[in-house]
Amino acid sequence: MAYNKQTLAQSGAFATETTGSTLGAGVWQSGRPPVVDSTGYVYVFTGNGYTSGYNGVNNFSESVLKLNPASGLSLVDWFTPQNWSAMDADDLDLASSGPLLIPNTSPSLLAGGGKTGVLYVLNTTSLGHYSATDAGVVQEQSISSSSLRGGPVYWQRSASNGGPLLFDWGTSDWVKAYAFNGTTFSATPISQASGTQIYPGGILALSANGQQAGTGVLWATVATSGNVYNDATDPGVLYAYNATDLTAPIWSSVMNSAHDNYGSFAKFVPPTVANGKVYVATFSGQVAVYGLLASGSAPVSVNLSAAADVLGIETVGTAVGDGGLDSQGYAYAANLIGTSISWSGATFTLGTAGTIDAVSNKTLSLPAGNYSTMQILATGVDGNQAAQTFVVTYTDGTTQSFIQSLSDWGHPQGYAGESTASTMAYRVAPAGTQNTGNWHLYGYSFALNNAETVQSITLPANRSVVILAIDLTP
């Protein structure tokens, strides 16, 4: 459907299938938008037909469509692969990805593919309709043994700067780059990683300083485990690759997982690059923002003493007072946990043993400033504490919420966004004796809006979430 951009009145519509008892040929493209050329024509890919399939009159399953918004979104031209019927029968949607208009080509070319892993290059002035031999295709090449979802993306460069490159990452494949000669892509990748990847492969974006050599970065979000086809809680990673050498990532969000892990993977959502930052939408209830940290910026410690209400650390041989860390009289052992802990590039100063040195269920004042990251040492007690809400308030009244699950101090769960900062072989029991076992303190990082000045943080309204230290990084 098309809408007037000023009035939002509908200005056109095109039905991809109009006959049959069950209509299909959906335009879904794994979330990729339609593309629009310089003359205003719109291009989309369609998926499976269910009862009738392609006929070139009423039904256009497994097709590339060229539509004209100026005449009610009428059909101008199309391409349908010769094997459309087999694609329909085997659920091999062409629309598992979407089209890419290749810049600076004459005639103007379009590239893309779907679940068959075949990349098509088409002439947009004559897409070719249906042919038993795909006679109108400029190039037809298998680039993956699995389906295409998160690409292609393209880096336009002159020959003197290395030439154009196209990137794609199949669902059970690895990222690859293909050179472009102005008409067709290279038969084999000029660079690729190795190994395999789980569904849906890499969801891609590219950033560069124009055509300048050495500035191209290919960004990709991937799922690392689980079944993201059905789940919204599986972990993900953001990778950065040198766009001209894909053999290994130059950075990833798990290289320093405690600081950079973004949580649960959101499928079909590419990274967004703007103003020197990379934005990643997640299924963890947050948008993770990545950028270069200011050099030499030392973390700032948050003073917990004014709000402290928990005795978290005690010396062996001394009875634990005030209910201890967990309200049952147990506490961390002072000689094991120490007076400071280094974690994720910061050194945290802990409270004094035998004093009210930790905090829960409070709103804490924060030292005024503009910070990129908040790092917290904390734990759950009396069981795992899932999906706890931390709220940062800025001086202009805006707020930022973070949802984080915390493991019980005796039972690490490896929650997304959680890492172990310290493990101790015993804790102090109510009477001051040693209680053997593995007892843990965990680290968490939250990405702040460094364009705003922080004012306070409101901790979860839960006595079983205990904070021992907080640092802020500019």
> Strands of 399-406's sheet, edge to edge?
363-365, 454-458, 385-394, 399-406
255, pLDDT greater than 90: no
Domain ranges in the chain with CATH number 2.60.120: 300-473
Give the type of residue at 425: A
295, pLDDT greater than 70: no
pTM of the model: 0.65
- Which CATH number applies to 300-473: 1.20.1300, 3.10.450, 3.30.70, 2.60.120? 2.60.120
Q: How far is CA 145 from CA 121, 233, 420, in A?
A: 18, 27, 39
The listed range with the strongest mean pLDDT (24-38, 45-59, 245-259) is 24-38
266, pLDDT greater than 60: yes
Helix (H) or strand (E) holding 336: helix 334-337
297, pLDDT greater than 90: no
Burial class (CB in 10 A: 0-12, 13-18, 19+), 457: buried
CA pseudo-torsion sign 382, 386, 392, 397: negative
Report the percent of the chain where pLDDT is more than 70.
99
User: What does the pLDDT average to over 446-473?
Assistant: 95
Specify the pLDDT at position 351: 92
Specify the pLDDT at position 317: 97
**Reduced to 3 states, what is the DSSP secondary structure of residue 342?**
strand
pLDDT tens per residue, range 272-292: 999 889 999 999 989 999 988
Specify the pLDDT at position 296: 56
- DSSP label of 319: P
